[in-house]
């Protein structure tokens, strides 16, 4: 396997593995949902819309990082479409938090039929921090274009910006582990520990796309020929 294939396959494996892990979570939410009442003041430990966003971005990453020498245009279109879907969802959720107006029936697919009114109306919604992180990751995939340097810089900036909240959340969990409350409590940033892990894994897969591939194949052969010719002329 070539160096290009090895490099892209890391991001491909991360995206594919995250997609499988997220798919395994949804049935667990179906069993957990009846216990989420309207009186619960906080969001569930890991909301299904967060998992859906991460799984969709992971699948988009897998398409963008397919271990092939050249991406087919269809792969790029699918990857951008999935990223655009997450971007729109993140924008809708953030607008909901800003305006206070909720779009109805967005959670109905995650609520069992027998739950009735016992489940909080918007229990499946992501937190604003999770929606912001997903939106930034999706924006990064929308910027991704290895042939345009400015878009790759925007891609890298978006990924790093998306990792800010997970990093703050991870630092908070580490300090709370090292100095349990009430000795040194730290404010949380609205991301659960599983969400922090998922976003870090997604970010690492995306950062694997930043490295520029080495010159291989016919181009490498031509480069060696030119260098060899110049070296022989200098020796003369």
Omega prior to 176 cis, within 30 of 0? no
Domain containing residue 94? 3-235
**Residue labelled with tokens 């976003």:** 199
Q: Measured between alpha carbons, how far is 27 from 71 in angstroms, rounded to an integer?
A: 33
User: Is the pLDDT confidence value at 35 over 70?
Assistant: no
Average pLDDT for 217-225: 44
- Buried/exposed code over 134-145 (b: 16+ C-beta within 10 A; e: otherwise): bbbbbbbbbbbe
**Residue labelled with tokens 């052969």:** 221
Average pLDDT for 102-106: 79
Q: Measured between alpha carbons, how far is 85 from 127 in angstroms, rounded to an integer?
A: 18
**Are the C-beta atoms of 136 and 128 separated by less than 8 Å?**
no
**Are the C-beta atoms of 127 and 47 separated by less than 8 Å?**
yes
Q: Measured between alpha carbons, how far is 61 from 83 in angstroms, rounded to an integer?
A: 9
Number of domains within the chain: 1
Note the pLDDT of residue 232: 52
Note the pLDDT of residue 72: 79
**Are the C-beta atoms of 21 and 103 separated by less than 8 Å?**
no
**Structure token pair of residue 58:** 């992971």
Structure confidence by residue, pLDDT tens digits, 161-196: 999 999 999 998 888 777 776 655 555 677 888 899
Note the pLDDT of residue 183: 57
**Are the C-beta atoms of 26 and 79 separated by less than 8 Å?**
no
**Between 214 and 23, where is the model more confident?**
23
Q: Measured between alpha carbons, how far is 199 from 127 in angstroms, rounded to an integer?
A: 14
To the question of pTM greater than 0.95 for the whole model, the response is no
Note the pLDDT of residue 166: 94
């Amino acid at each position: 396997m070539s160096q290009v294939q090895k490099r892209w396959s890391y991001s491909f494996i991360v995206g594919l593995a995250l997609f499988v892990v997220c798919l395994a979570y949804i049935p667990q939410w179906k069993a957990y949902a009846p216990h989420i009442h309207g009186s619960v003041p906080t969001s569930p430990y890991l909301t299904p819309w967060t998992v859906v966003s991460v799984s969709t971005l992971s699948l988009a990453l897998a398409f963008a990082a397919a271990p092939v020498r050249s991406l087919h245009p269809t792969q790029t279109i699918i990857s951008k479409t999935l990223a655009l879907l997450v971007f729109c969802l993140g924008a809708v959720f953030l607008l909901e938090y800003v305006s206070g107006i909720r779009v109805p029936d967005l959670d109905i697919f995650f609520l069992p039929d027998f739950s009735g009114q016992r489940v909080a109306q918007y229990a499946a919604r992501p937190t604003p921090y999770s929606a912001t992180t997903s939106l930034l990751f999706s924006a990064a995939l929308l910027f991704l274009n290895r042939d345009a340097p400015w878009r790759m810089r925007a891609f890298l900036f978006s990924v790093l910006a998306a990792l800010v909240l997970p990093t703050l959340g991870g630092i908070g969990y580490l300090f709370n582990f090292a100095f349990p409350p009430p000795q040194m409590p730290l404010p949380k940033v609205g991301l659960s520990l599983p969400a922090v892990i998922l976003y870090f894994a997604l970010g690492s897969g995306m950062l694997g796309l930043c490295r520029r591939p080495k010159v291989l194949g016919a181009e490498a052969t031509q480069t060696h020929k030119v260098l060899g010719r110049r070296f022989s002329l200098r020796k003369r």
